[in-house]
Amino acid sequence: MTNIPELFASKVFSDTVMRQRLPKDVYREMKKTIKTGARLNPEVANAVATAMRDWAIDNGATHFTHWFQPMTGITAEKHDSFLTPLDRQPGEGRVLMEFSGKALIQGEPDASSFPSGGLRATFEARGYTAWDPTSPAFIKEDTLCIPTAFCSYSGEVLDKKTPLLRSMQVINKQALRILRLFGNHEALQVTTTVGAEQEYFLIDRGLRDKRPDLLLTGRTLLGARPPKGQELEDHYFGAIKTRVKAFMKDLDRELWALGILSKTEHNEVAPAQHEIAPEYTTANVACDQNQLTMELLKKVAERHHLVCLLHEKPFAGVNGSGKHNNWSMGTNLGENLLEPGESPQENLQFLIFLSAIIKAVDEYADLLRISCATAGNDHRLGAFEAPPAIMSIFLGDELTAVLEAMEAGELHESGHSVLKTGVRVLPPLPKDNTDRNRTAPFAFTGNKFEFRALGSAQSIACANMLLNTAVAEVLMRFADRLEAAADFESEVGRVIVETYKAHKRIIFNGNSYTEEWTAEAARRGLDNHRTTAEALPRYMDDKNVALLSKHGVLTRKEIESRTEVLLDNYVKVLSIEAQTMISMARTGILPAASAFAARLSRAALDMRKLGKKAETELPARYEEETAQTVSALADALYASANALEAALEQARKIGDTAEAARYIGDTVVPFMNDARTRADALETLVAAELWPYPTYGDLLFRV
């Protein structure tokens, strides 16, 4: 039986390992670098590299890699062995296992073929990776993986990690200013923490291999709804199937060995859908660990002859998959800044941080929408299984009532336990008194906010980078005002009341799925960018560029490149889907429909030859009418495929990426929907033995 405590983090160059293997002075310098960002001198770097190499080799590693996160949304790695020739004379054959401080700190992968949005030309190949010591190295498949940032030769950022790290520095600086005003001089660092819940589907690998759409796009482009879906609500939290449980057990051990504290696993709402949730950690480490989790979900599934689908909407008609980003702020002393606390000072401090978040989400709601904008997530947002594309905050009735009373200059009395604020302008504050709203994009859940709009296949780096920066900007404005105030407590009260009054439009505690909320949100002036093509161009709005460049998180040029990369990805994803749909229709469905129609026509003709007898008239009429229906649907599908192909060809001629994205969304996608309607109707008529692809019933229930 596996000893779980011994297994946990056994493949991680953790603080425990460093303490054991590094000389004391080197360990102190290393911890200083992790906490403050101070540079390591070459001697210390070499000592760390030697210890890291020896530990990795002791654990079976033969290679090392700088593990980074380009703008593809997945990770990248180039493996180098530790092998170095001892004597370069021919025939000697002696080698050493070496790893230098220089190799640890910096690498040079080819940067020419990664998305750059115009930052790099194909002939400009040089790029650099730089070690991120705040995220521990780990061993994966006999390779020492060193988390790194990735930038171009000219210094522009080409990855998702670097802006996230920058945003964490920014919010740390501004949050500490606020804490100092409240008399907290002990805390030396404020970090944002994240726990990323991950939803996914598991299907049989053999069935997946017979579906070109699942192979090429990760989702079913065609498929009629089965007689049973999720209507009986019998899958959610239901007993886990034996095959799936074996997969989960294997997955847990892989994750635990990498120091990922996988805590919760269960069946989700849709058939074949599941969820895994870890404990929270710092935003940077959480991002790295979520990337590893997605990778291992797929690899472990393959070992069990399963396939893990991370697409946000792999099946029409049942719930899609999201990723819930549970975000909070905490000090190095363990204080959660979004915990109301028990003393007047703590309550007041909580309210000022809460107010900053409310203001940030309202002013920069478009950035939060951008952070969850992908072609896959467009199928899910607002589909009565996920938050809508309208950004709003859920606070709960009690906390909202407190802020309403403050705005009115009244005291709010709660029927529950209350915490005294100790300030005349502030009423008593209810503690941990909120329901959990599953329909809100940004929901307060007692001591953290849950951003529920992220798609299951997405990196969490962008969302947390943008959220950190927006909140930091507001904290900076608050700090500037409060530092200049003559009466600190009174000014804090005014800031809280004024902020709520100006930004309460973003707060909605009701059902965000309803059409009534859509209309109400429009009345309040809240944006509703329903598609990625609508949302992404807002990245370049002056206020957004000003925010990110002001705090040194992204330059205008880097924002332009990211906008271009995201729009280009949207166009390419939907183009691949459209081409795959055309191919499946022409090479699979239309031949099957034609064969079935011909079979029916022959059967009807044979019956007619027997003469008009009562026992043959009804069957013959059925065969004829069904053949006509199938033929008509096949003709319509053929026309839809041709129209889709023509629209796709027109999209290729559009030079501007933003314009191409809008055309794809407005014109190509409706043609795809039309083709799907025809194909799915045919599936309900064509004989099962002739239908070329596994059905939804097969995919969702044969696991």
Lowest mean pLDDT among 266-270, 376-380, 397-401, 520-524: 397-401
pLDDT of amino acid 622: 80
- Residue 153: what pLDDT? 73
Average pLDDT, the chain: 91
Name the percent of the chain lying above pLDDT 70: 91
Q: Spell out the alpha helix ranges (H) of 75-187.
A: 101-105, 161-181
Q: When comparing pLDDT for 412 and 93, which is higher?
A: 93
571 pLDDT more than 50:
yes
Q: So what's the pLDDT on residue 425? A: 44
Provide the whole-model pTM: 0.93
How confident is the model over 419-469, as pLDDT tens digits?
Answer: 444 444 444 455 455 566 778 899 999 899 999 999 999 999 999 999 999
In 3D space, the residue among 275, 274, 270, 387 whose CA is nearest the CA of residue 317 turns out to be 270
H helix intervals, 391-528: 397-408, 461-483, 488-503, 515-524
376 residue type, one letter: G
Share of the chain above pLDDT 90, in %: 75
- Span between the terminal Cα atoms of the chain, in Å: 27
- In angstroms, the CA 151 to CA 671 distance is 40
Which pLDDT does position 385 carry in this prediction? 74
The whole-number average pLDDT for the span 654-669 is 96
What does the alpha-carbon distance between residue 581 and residue 597 come to, in Å, rounded to a whole number?
22
Residues 371, 463: contact at Cβ < 8 Å? Answer: yes
Structure tokens at 405: 């009373």
Determine the Cα–Cα distance for residues 645 and 578; give it in Å rounded to an integer: 8
Give the confidence band of 415 by pLDDT, cuts at 50, 70, 90.
Answer: very low
Mean pLDDT throughout 273-302? 97
* Token pair in block for residue 407: 């705005």
Please state the φ and ψ torsions of residue 18, each to the nearest 5 degrees.
Answer: -60, -45
